[in-house]
Amino acid sequence: MIYLIGGARPNFMKIAAISRAFEKYDINYEIIHTGQHYDYNMDKIFFEEFGLKKPLVHLEVGSGPHGEQTAKIMERFERLCFDARPSMVFTVGDVNSTMAAALVAAKMHIPIAHQEAGMRSHDMKMPEEVNRIVTDHVSDFLFPISPKDQSNLHMEGIDRDKIYLVGDPMIDNLLYYIDKIPDMTCEKYILVELHRPANVDDKDKLKTILQALDKLRDHAQILFPLHPRTRKMIEEFELTDLLKNVECWDPIGYFEFIKYMKNATVVITDSDGIQQETSILNIPCVSIRDTTNIGYTVKYGTNVLVEVNINKIFAAATYPLYHDPFKSNFPKQLKKLNDGNASERIAEVLINVKKKFFI
């Protein structure tokens, strides 16, 4: 029995594609939900939209400081593993739930798989970078999404026999649903999704970003589904006035988000996943980040990085409003890795080791 670990919003798109592949290949799995995210729009909506199976166990950890949240997941997941002894713990992404589950499994000598292995921002101030490095170094099956991530693992000395370059289940999921999502005919608009602590927990940076959005409003409508962290910080820093001309919403589900992303003239974000999805869909993307973990989106895709500066954000975001958009130009290998079958390649790897691990 494989335990597939999910906890936070960006996990569920990957779990959806991996579950479909596990079902197709008749691989025995259960979803374990840590409860890192718990609001309907950050969690249950994805189970409903993707038809995911109900989690076998819900650890109900909720929000909290990193140490506390990680410790709660570890304590509760360890208890579960003591009783149930899964044959493998399968982790995705880079959230606290990913690292916590991997650490528990490592200490109990339960084989660990990590999807999205090898991704690096080389910025240890990002909590996700710590989660990625720790998870990779205790994992037995590492599934990078790109050749760059694979070579990061090689450079860190991880045994090459453990690494399987398969591509990206999040893109599998996007390609699975994209044609079912309607096009819209509407005026030009900019879609915004921001939630990184480096941007939204710093008052000056958050203010600068909101001032840039306010300035952009003279050129296009701004649609801004607010992540709970972002909403909380805007209120705490008393910056709500800067949003008076911006269309703010609660977080939206996958289908709605993809619909707005697919039809946007430009997307402004600090999310990893959205940088990838926009490049696949040929939508111009302005990433408010100093570094990106997904260099291929800048090199071959539609993504540009900008620092937190009103004029730079404004210039990058207005360009696609008045010029023909750039198109992605992926080399052959990246096209192949983003062909929508990464999860099946993962399933095939696991089937091949089935006897050894009694999956």
Hey, which residues are catalytic here?
Answer: 195
Using DSSP, state whether 43 is helix, strand or coil.
Answer: coil
Minimum CB separation of residue 64 from ligand UD1 in Å reads 7
Size of the site for ligand UD1 (CB under 6 A): 20
- Residue 2 burial by CB count (10 A; 0-12/13-18/19+): exposed, middle or buried? buried
Taking CB under 6 A as the criterion, the residue among 25, 38, 176, 357 binding ligand UD1 is: 38
Which run of H or of E encompasses 196? none
Q: Which of 2, 4, 8, 18 binds ligand UD1 (CB under 6 A)?
A: 8
Interface of this chain with ligand UD1, residues 167 to 206, rule: CB under 6 A: 195
Q: Are 37 and 49 in contact (CB under 8 A)?
A: no
Q: Per CB under 6 A, which of residues 69..98 are in contact with ligand UD1? A: 94-96
**Residue 240 binds ligand UD1, judged by CB under 6 A:** no
Record the tokens describing residue 249, joined without a space: 């919403």
Distances (CA, A) of 73 to 3, 53, 64, 359: 14, 21, 11, 24
Compare residues 269 and 341 and give the one whose CB is closer to ligand UD1.
269
Smallest separation (angstroms) from ligand UD1 to the CB of 237: 15
Alpha helices for 33-140 (secondary structure H): 44-50, 66-84, 96-107, 127-138
Q: Which stretch binds ligand UD1 (CB under 6 A): 32-40, 50-58, 105-113, 216-224?
A: 32-40
* Residue choice 42, 142, 316, 317 for contact with ligand UD1 (CB under 6 A): 42
What's the alpha-carbon Rg for the chain, to the nearest Å?
A: 20
Contacting residues toward ligand UD1, per CB under 6 A? 8-10, 36-39, 42-43, 63, 94-96, 127-128, 195, 227-229, 232
